[in-house]
Amino acid sequence: MTDNTTTNNTKTTAPRRMRWSWFPSLHFGDGMLLSVLVLTTIMMRRYGLNNSQIALYVSLLAIPFTLRPLFEMVVTYFRGTTKVWILSAEFISALSLWLVAFTLPTAYWLQGTLCFMPFVVVSGVFYSIAANRFYTDDEATANHQHRLFALLSKSLALLFGIGVMTMLAGNMEVVTRNVRYSWSLVFYIMAGVEFCIWLWHSIFLPGGKKPVVAKKDIFGLHGHDHVKAVDLMMQGWRNRLMLFFFLIFMLPLSLTIIIVPLFLIDMTHNGGLSLAPQELGLALGTVGVIATFVGRWIGKLAIRRCQWKECIIPMSTALLTYSILLENLSNNIAYSLFDVCGIMLACGIAIGFGSNAYTAIVELFATKGGSQLRRATAASLTWTTTIVAGVFAGLIQMDIGYRQFFLIAIAASVASVTLAVIFFVFRSKLTANSENCTTFASK
């Protein structure tokens, strides 16, 4: 009897021990996509495109994020081939990045980037869906250690992609005196990293129809499920008000997400800080990413300790602080690199802490049936807002300059704080099931 019990326990716990051979690398691969998009933004600026062109191109590349609910249906239908989704997405990303790197030194670099980069984004979205649906535990079963490692792995991907690779590109520009070959080398390295992740997961990632984590819902298998998910999100004035706040809350980040790296690297006569790529990699890609991780984890701990509605005002105020810091930076473009790194440190903590409110609201929408689809639907609405805001942000910034543009971001942050105060005052009337969000501790 004892032997049988021991054997059963070993079988139950073995997958938990073995998953550390692929769990961190799975989330590291998930964070690679955002790194590639930021690198593409910086690369286009170094190639001489203006901010409005870059904002348009990057926003167009992000369109697949808005189609995530439809992609969810496809992945769910073929859920028995989850490992195939992961490996195919990684291989396509590696090949597409290699093709982008191949075209960068040529006269057709823009055509090559716009032709092959969509394959990277689409495959990255499919990768994220398969990983979240069938390889990542739900909130009820995920433990504290798993959530920490998932966040840490994604942060390391951003640190490597935005920090290390941008600094490498800047140093290569100094050594080779050739911008195109320097950035081509960077994208070759990113393609090589994707290929190594593909090779690693080919060996260690479990596959087949046998689940490797807790059983997931398959809501979203049919088209009418999408309509039902949207109807549930729009049901009642409280949910509609919550959705409105959800979109307004992310507006400051949506406006500035593309503009900030361009502001840091733009020339002084254009109102930018004129940082070299290696300085940008240090300030934004290293200090900023580490600070965002710290702020993100502090926010998670705060929501675990208190209800999310108790934290909504401090978190919206954090985003207001972020906008004020950017405005201050645009008014003092003669700051030293040390000062810029200090401000990026504060901005990163503010973004990380404040964005937890966004995650909590997404989890609130996902508390009733079809959580994965409802979460994807809420995320697609955010990306739609980000894309529209990003296109207009580039045009507005080119017309009025960085200082006035960051004043608009401050105004959007003030609107977010105002709505947060209203929500706090009427918090007892918002929804009966909001307690479920106190353990959102996300992805």
* CA–CA distance, 386 with 122 (Å, rounded to integer): 17
35, 411, 39, 420: which is closest to 256 by C-alpha? 411
**Mean pLDDT within 167-190:** 95
Per-residue confidence (pLDDT) for residue 217, from 0 to 100 = 59
* CA–CA distance, 341 with 355 (Å, rounded to integer): 21
What confidence tens digit (pLDDT) does each residue in 256-311 have?
A: 999 999 999 999 989 999 999 999 999 999 999 999 999 999 998 888 888 777 88
Domains and CATH numbers, the chain: 1-216 (1.20.1250.20), 218-443 (1.20.1250.20)
* CA–CA distance, 304 with 148 (Å, rounded to integer): 13
What confidence tens digit (pLDDT) does each residue in 17-44 have?
A: 447 788 899 999 999 999 999 999 999 9
Per-residue confidence (pLDDT) for residue 429, from 0 to 100 = 54
What confidence tens digit (pLDDT) does each residue in 240-251 have?
A: 777 777 778 888
Q: What is the DSSP string of 163-181?
A: IIHHHHHHHHHHHH--HHH
Per-residue confidence (pLDDT) for residue 38, from 0 to 100 = 95
* CA–CA distance, 368 with 179 (Å, rounded to integer): 51
What confidence tens digit (pLDDT) does each residue in 97-127 have?
A: 999 999 999 999 999 999 999 999 999 999 9
Structure tokens at 147: 């959530």
Per-residue confidence (pLDDT) for residue 207, from 0 to 100 = 75
Q: With b meaning 16 or more CB within 10 Å and e meaning fewer, what string describes 338-372?
A: eebbebbbbbbbbbbbbbbbbbbbbbbbbbeebbb
With H, G, I as helix, E, B as strand and everything else as coil, classify residue 275: coil
- Roughly what angle, to the nearest 10 degrees, separates helices 179-204 and 23-46? 170
Could you list the beta-strand ranges (E) of 274-404: none
Among 170-174, 334-338, 369-373, the range with the most confident prediction by mean pLDDT is 170-174
Across 105-119, 323-337, 339-353, 354-368, least confident range: 354-368
| First-to-last C-alpha distance (Å) of the chain | 40
* CA–CA distance, 218 with 224 (Å, rounded to integer): 13
79, 366, 30: which is closest to 212 by C-alpha? 79
What confidence tens digit (pLDDT) does each residue in 127-176 have?
A: 998 888 777 765 545 567 778 888 999 999 999 999 999 999 999 999 99
With H, G, I as helix, E, B as strand and everything else as coil, classify residue 372: helix
With H, G, I as helix, E, B as strand and everything else as coil, classify residue 62: coil
Per-residue confidence (pLDDT) for residue 323, from 0 to 100 = 94
Residues 6+ away with beta carbon under 8 Å from 84: 207
Per-residue confidence (pLDDT) for residue 13, from 0 to 100 = 36
Is pLDDT of 225 > 50?
Answer: yes
Assign 224 a pLDDT band (cuts: 50, 70, 90): low
In the chain, what percentage of residues exceed pLDDT 90?
53
Assign 48 a pLDDT band (cuts: 50, 70, 90): very high
What's CA 250's distance to the chain center, in Å? 13
CB 319 within 8 A of CB 252: yes
Four-point Cα dihedral 333, 410, 52, 383, nearest 10: 130
Per-residue confidence (pLDDT) for residue 437, from 0 to 100 = 42
Residue 341 to residues 100, 167, 196, 279: CA-CA distances in angstroms?
31, 14, 32, 9
Per-residue confidence (pLDDT) for residue 215, from 0 to 100 = 59
381, 321, 362, 313: which is closest to 345 by C-alpha? 321
Is pLDDT of 380 > 50?
Answer: yes
Per-residue confidence (pLDDT) for residue 442, from 0 to 100 = 41
Per-residue confidence (pLDDT) for residue 196, from 0 to 100 = 97
